[in-house]
Amino acid sequence: MLVPCARRGALPPPAGHTRSPRSPLRALALLKMATRVLQRVSRGLDRANSRAPWPGHGAALSRGFVVSSSRNREDSWFKSVFVRKVDPRKDAHSNLLTKNEESNLYKIQFHNVKPECLDSYNKLCEDVLPSIHADKYYPCELVGTWNTWYGEQDQAVHLWRYRGGYPALTEVMNKLRQNKEFMEYRNERGKMLLSRRNQLLLEFSFWNEPVPREGPNIYELRSYQLRPGTMIEWGNYWARAIGYRQHNREAVGGFFSQIGNLYMVHHLWAYKDLQSREDTRNAAWQHDGWDEVVYYTVPLIQHMDSRIMIPMKASPLQ
């Protein structure tokens, strides 16, 4: 009997854990369906044999069918092992994973700054961004603004929230184009940047909504590029996993992309320092179920990276 090879790079299963077998009712239904198919084919072969132009012609067809049927069964067996089954869904992933009663949209910005301009860039942001955040004329909030400490160097990360979704985003953009101070800020900022990119995000329903906090803290932004089609599976596991990561108030926010790099997940964490980060992450392994979450979510990831970030003076998350 052939045994499928273990997935390359897969982690060993958690101790005492086994995959649940297929439903007996499903197996019985498949068996009945296969029986009906074979009965129809058998009746067709009997009719062909009665009209065979020479003796044995029908038997030859039957042998050919048996070989072909055997090969088809082998192909189906391999496909059942290695091909991911996709459940039909009646709603968009974004509606299944977000807080439906709210319509918050987030924008995350990554600005790669010329090394010699980083201090001037930070001062420019501290002079302009808080005024937009505080002005009720703009339906947006500055959630946090940071410099990357470990990860991509000379980088600034800004996270904005738009209460009201895409209409609020459009309203803010239109109003800022009429803001002379902001347009001067953009022109001056452009002289200091090497590159920039952004993403529009929604927040997972089971994560905390980011709220201002006092410092000093360091922040970790862990970004995961998932395999297409696995976002619901990721959400199902992390809806349980987040409960293991709340004990030191380290969970700040969890988001997934809508525009920009798709199937991208961002988890934002806060720690007192790097040692606190190490201790908190190690403590998660003492909770029953955390090992299972890691085991089943690692194969969903194509790429991941981590940034350790320091808040700017103007950041509501300190």
Say which residue, 301 or 59, is predicted with more confidence: 301
CB 309 within 8 A of CB 145: no
Give 33's pLDDT tier (boundaries 50, 70, 90): low
CATH architecture group of domain 103-311: 2-Layer Sandwich (3.30)
> Contact, 155 vs 109, CB < 8 A?
no
Tally Cβ neighbours within 10 Å of residue 270.
Answer: 24
In the three-class reduction of DSSP (H, G, I as helix; E, B as strand; rest coil), residue 303 is classed as strand
Query: What pTM, to 2 d.p., does this model score?
Result: 0.71
To which H or E segment does residue 255 belong? strand 251-259
The DSSP 8-state label assigned to residue 56 in this structure reads T
Mean pLDDT calculated for residue range 255-277: 96
Give whole-number Cα distances, 231 to 132, 255, 264, in Å.
33, 11, 9
CA distances from 239 to 105, 232, 242 (A): 20, 10, 6
pLDDT score of 13: 52
Choice between 138 and 62, residue whose per-residue pLDDT is larger: 138
- Delimit the domains of the chain by residue range: 103-311
Q: Quick one: pLDDT at residue 193?
A: 98
Summarize the confidence of residues 75-93 as an average pLDDT: 48
Of 75-84, 194-203, 242-251, the range with the highest mean pLDDT is: 194-203
Query: What are 175-207's pLDDT values in tens digits?
Result: 999 999 999 999 999 999 999 999 999 999 988
pLDDT computed for residue 208 by the predictor: 84
Q: Is the pLDDT reported for residue 305 higher than 90?
A: yes
For residue 233, pLDDT over 50 is answered with yes
Residues β-bridged to residue 109 = 158, 198
* 171 burial level (CB within 10 Å; 0-12, 13-18, 19+): middle
81 sits in which H/E element: helix 57-82
Torsions phi, psi for 186 (to 5 deg): -65, -40
Least confident of 62-76, 124-138, 229-243: 62-76
